Structure formats: C-alpha cells, structure tokens
C-alpha cells in the first residue's frame, strides 16, 4: 500500500467519523416531534393575595380559546391539555368572577418530552417539566 493511499483512506475514515458525530449531535439538539402531540398537565398555583375562584383558559396566538376549568383559591389545580401542534404558541388566561384577567407569558410545547407546565400566578412564572420529571413532587 502506498503512503498516498493510506493517507487518503485515513482522511476518509476521519471525515466519516466527524460527519457521524455531527449528525448525532445535531439530532440530540432538535426536539422530538416525530410523534403526535400528547396530553400534558397544566397546573395552576392560585396564590393570589385575595383568595378567589379562577376560570382557566388556553389561548392560541390566533385567538382560539379553550376552557380548562376552575382553579380553587389558595390551591394548586391540574388540568389536561393536548396541544394542536408542537411549537404552536399559547398563553394561559385566568379570569376572576368579576371579570379581571391575568395572562401568562407566551409558551410553546416544543416536543413529546414535555409532561407538565406549572403556572405560579404570583410572580407569574411558568415552569416546564419533562415527562419523567412530572411524577416527582417539588
């Protein structure tokens, strides 16, 4: 075997290994969207200073509104929601009996790993948990 052939072969093997590593690395950076959206848990932590029942909704950026249910005062209430598609932006909305509204920040369910979203009303924080994490208690 000539030196030129060995060098070309070694370069080819190195290039193949580098390409395989890059493909594997890129695959791990992309969300898992190969499966259709599954139901996720939305937990509303109703810690408002004045205890009140709240009607809870999801709202898409296109304006589609879905009622999730009622969050009881000074309690955590969980609901189930199935996103229409991954990466579709949503906001959570709560409404008091007197009509006052409180909106969450915009969020997206990026992939099938998302299991739960918790919304702590004060100080208006959304926390995301993967499917495996959603069974643990904070």
pLDDT tens for 98-130 read 999 999 999 999 889 999 999 999 999 999 999
How is the beta sheet containing 114-120 ordered, strand by strand? Answer: 76-81, 40-45, 114-120, 125-130
Q: Residue 128 forms beta bridges with which residues?
A: 117
CA 92, 103, 130, 60 dihedral sign is positive
Q: Which pTM does this prediction carry?
A: 0.72
* Rounded to 5°, angle at Cα 116 from 112 and 117: 115
Where are the domains positioned within the chain?
1-30, 40-135
pLDDT digits (tens, 9 = 90+) for 36-78: 899 999 999 999 999 999 999 999 999 999 999 999 999 999 9
Q: What region, left, alpha or beta, does residue 119 occupy, with left being phi > 0 and alpha being psi -120 to 50 degrees?
A: beta
CATH of domain 40-135: 2.60.40
């Amino acid at each position: 075997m000539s030196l030129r052939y060995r060098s070309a072969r070694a370069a080819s093997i190195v290039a193949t290994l580098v390409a395989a590593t890059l493909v594997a690395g890129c695959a791990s950076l992309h969300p898992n969207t190969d499966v259709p959206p599954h139901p996720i848990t939305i937990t509303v932590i109703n810690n408002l200073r004045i205890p009140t029942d709240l009607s809870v909704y999801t709202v898409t950026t296109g304006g589609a509104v879905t009622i999730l249910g009622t969050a009881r005062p000074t309690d955590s209430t969980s609901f189930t929601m199935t996103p229409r598609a991954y990466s579709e932006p949503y906001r959570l909305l709560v409404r008091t009996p007197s009509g006052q509204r409180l909106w969450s920040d915009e969020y997206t369910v990026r992939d099938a790993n998302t299991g739960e979203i918790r919304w702590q009303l004060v100080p208006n924080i959304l926390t995301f948990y993967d499917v495996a994490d959603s069974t643990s208690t904070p």
